[in-house]
Chain A
Amino acid sequence: MHPYAVMWASDVKKAKGKNLPRLPEAVEEFRKSFEGHFYFVREAQELNSTVLGIMGRGKTVVKSKSMVGEESELRLYLEREGVNVYETDLGEFLIQIANEKPAHMVTPAVNMTESKARRLLEPVVNEKLDDIQTMVLAVRRFMREKFFSADFGIIGANALASDTGSIIFITNEGNGALTSTLPERLIVITSVEKIYPTFVDAMKAVTAQTVYSGFEYTSYIHIINGPYDRHGPREIHLVIMDNGRIRDDYLKETLYCIKCGACQLSCPVFQVVDGAWGHIYTAAIGIPWTAITGPKDKAKNLAAFCLECGKCREVCPMGIDIPELIRKIKES
């Protein structure tokens, strides 16, 4: 499968290298190509207020997974402001019901047992759930009505292409497809380092992310180029966030991250304590991400647990020297 994945990971790194030193210009280039309503925000709270400003209170929203949304705690904010939000990714739905934070960038409920998932789901779906299969089918039935009645869909993006103004995101469940085609209005939330110069670069990036996340393939790749005719979203709003990414210090190496999560799974500390070691982003590359997006002193405290074994650096498709970044955070 994808025998050229290693070569493409190298191409992705080169493509990122073109944009990362000039992110403000890259944002402007994407804005010019994008067929929709475009918003650039500096801070996480600004992302939240912008999304609320687009939709208004009292709405029903279906949402697919977004680490940017986790950074800003978008769902909690919208819920406080009187918006009904349904997380449609199963792992995110479990996290929502449990009122917990994601344990992993790709599989947020990786630390949750079947019995805990059952205890969480049964009162929500109002059914007796025997096994994982019946749990997933019950969630399918529960969520199907929400997809059809939602006023807005909110999705994240894995990659953006500046030349075509395209948004690319990947899922296995099919929730992203329904979130992005059934409601009449779509909001995309993402961050500046996801912009690639070309459509080809962006396609290679999502392939590399899939392969290195350990999934070998993803069930669905969705590419949005603009609003639909006649059915589907007639309005697309894209909110793109900085939140500490536009910078010129040692931490900017973190921006090469394609969020495959391979480093987390290889980390011996993560394997023992999972999502407890982190803030929004957990383990390995999660520590530099915390230094960028969250409180710096939080990152320093978390960095203390790193063994500097180097396993994360070995598996990283972008060759990020994660232990070195963490060491510098420790010394900062």
Chain B
Amino acid sequence: MKVDSKIGILRSEDWKVQGYELNLNESIKKFREVFTLHGGHFYYLNPDEARELLVKLILGYSSAMYVHLDSRTESLMKGLAVKRMVNLEERAGDPGLKNDIKTIEVGIGKADALAAESGALIFYDYDALKSYVAFLPEINITFASEDDLFPTVFDAFKKFWSSAEVMPASIQIVQSPSRTGDIEYKIVRPSHGPRELYAVLLKGDGP
């Protein structure tokens, strides 16, 4: 991969969105407003509350998969009562993985960034596993830390490119649950992606 030159190019770009600046509280408020308007569910919780929420959300589901959690979010997963729990990283490279995750109901991941202005979850994906968690299951639960929240997508990119060393194979930006209006412009959810989308912003220092 011609990595160095591309990262260098992106580092030198002007990612400033004119006249759009928010502090943390304003960003949280804006993200909540837009994400909820788009059909997502947003929570701003401490780790204990987040764990309680996670237990409640997966109640009734028998299968879940998770990937690329940091140490704080991984600790929320301990002892979750799910009949089948798949840690995608432990199975990375296994050719049978795709078949095993075909019917998994819940996907749990951590966003690389959130963008307040567009209510967006941003994932930098190198091995397609974050995409599988974000797009395959019926329910997607995405955690994030306060440090991950930016006013706009461009602000998030600016931070990422400033320290990234390897170009991700893909960048996925998720702004709402899956939907379609292709029949008579009547919007229904879901189409092929998740029916329900949860963004849980953890209070305090991460990870």
- Residues of chain A touching chain B, judged by Cβ–Cβ distance below 8 Å, are 1-4, 7, 33, 35, 88-91, 94, 107-110, 112-114, 117, 132-133, 135-136, 139-140, 143-144, 147-148, 163-165, 172-175, 177-178, 180-182, 198-200, 203, 217-232
Contact = CB atoms under 8 A, between A and B. Distances in A.
Contact of B184 (A3, A114, A164, A230): A114
Contacts of A200: 13-15, 154
Main secondary structure of the interface of B (DSSP, over half): loop
B92 interface: yes
A172 to B, nearest CB: 5
Contacts of B127: 228-232
Interface in B149-190: 153-154, 167-186, 188, 190
Given A7-B18, A112-B183, A217-B118, A177 B193 contact: yes
10 contacts: A136-B183, A140-B192, A147-B192, A148-B102, A163-B10, A174-B178, A177-B134, A218-B175, A221-B172, A225-B6
A4 B17 CA distance: 8
Contact of A173 (B38, B99, B193): B193
A160 to B, nearest CB: 14
A35 B2 contact: yes
Interface of B: 1-2, 6, 9-10, 13-15, 17-20, 34, 38, 92-93, 97-99, 102, 117-120, 125-129, 131-132, 134-136, 153-154, 167-186, 188, 190-194
A206 to B, nearest CB: 10
A264 to B, nearest CB: 14
B176 A181 contact: no
Contacts of B173: 220-223
Contact of A148 (B15, B98, B129, B190): B98
A221 B192 contact: no
A182 B127 CA distance: 11
Given A177-B193, A225-B168, A225-B169, A217 B176 contact: yes
A198 B13 contact: yes
B178 A88 contact: no
Contact of B191 (A172, A223, A232): A172
B6 to A, nearest CB: 5
Given A177-B172, A225-B168, A231 B191 contact: no
Contacts of B134: 177
Contacts of B172: 177, 220-223
A1 B172 CA distance: 20
Contact of A89 (B6, B17, B117, B182): B182
Given A173-B178, A229-B127, A231-B97, 15 more contacts: A35-B1, A88-B192, A110-B185, A112-B183, A117-B183, A163-B9, A164-B9, A178-B193, A181-B128, A220-B135, A223-B170, A226-B167, A228-B169, A231-B92, A231-B128
Most buried by A among B20, B126, B191: B191
